């Protein structure tokens, strides 16, 4: 499927506006919530909202460029391709969606490391990667990502079943 740049730009502009609103003022004005944006910074120092807001602003600029380019091209808004007619490609798409949803619901209970290994192995087997290669690649990639986030970036990932051996 091919989508006109104006459509992609509009979606990116919507996303960037949502990011900037979220980090600036939150959603307490719209829904009943206590979240009112990211904490305010000490004057003269960058706060936690600075980087996401800058990214949202840059996304908005890119979105406007895409919208202008898409409108100038006069191309069709959406052109459907052949992939929806291929059962194997549709299955691959559904499998990726299932993996993302599975991770969302199971990560706290099972934990990042075991779940990432299993899900990556599953995806690699769908793509017909040899079993030994898929197992080594999924374990190595999961360990690398876990170490990067937990030890270097100091982002806590859920341990789940491995909570007793957390390092």
Domains of the chain by residue range? 2-79, 83-165
Q: What is the mean pLDDT of residues 32-59?
A: 79
CA-based nearest residue to 150, from 112, 124, 122: 112
Region label for 40, one of left (φ > 0), alpha (ψ between -120 and 50) or beta (otherwise)? beta
Helix, strand, coil % (nearest 5) of the chain? 70, 0, 30
Residue 94's Cβ-count burial label (10 Å; 0-12, 13-18, 19+) is exposed
Phi, psi of 78 (to 5 degrees): -140, 135
User: Which pLDDT score, from 0 to 100, does residue 63 have?
Assistant: 97
* CA dihedral angle for residue 93, residue 95, residue 100, residue 105, rounded to 10 degrees: 140
| 47-61, 109-123, 134-148: least confidently modelled range | 47-61
User: Which pLDDT score, from 0 to 100, does residue 97 have?
Assistant: 96
């Amino acid at each position: 499927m091919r989508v006109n740049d104006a459509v992609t730009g509009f979606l990116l502009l919507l996303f960037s506006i949502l990011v900037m609103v979220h980090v600036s003022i939150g959603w307490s004005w719209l829904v009943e919530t206590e979240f009112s944006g990211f904490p305010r910074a000490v004057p003269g120092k960058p706060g936690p909202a600075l980087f996401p807001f800058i990214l949202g602003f840059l996304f908005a600029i890119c979105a406007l460029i895409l919208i202008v380019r898409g409108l100038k091209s006069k191309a069709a808004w959406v052109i459907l391709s052949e992939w929806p007619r291929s059962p194997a490609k549709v299955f691959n798409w559904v499998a990726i969606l299932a993996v993302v949803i599975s991770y969302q619901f199971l990560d706290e209970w099972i934990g990042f490391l075991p779940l990432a290994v299993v899900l990556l192995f599953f995806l690699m087997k769908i793509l017909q990667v040899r079993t030994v290669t898929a197992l080594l690649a999924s374990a190595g990639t999961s360990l690398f990502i876990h170490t990067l986030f937990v030890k270097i970036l100091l982002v806590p990932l859920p341990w789940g079943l491995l909570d007793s051996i957390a390092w």
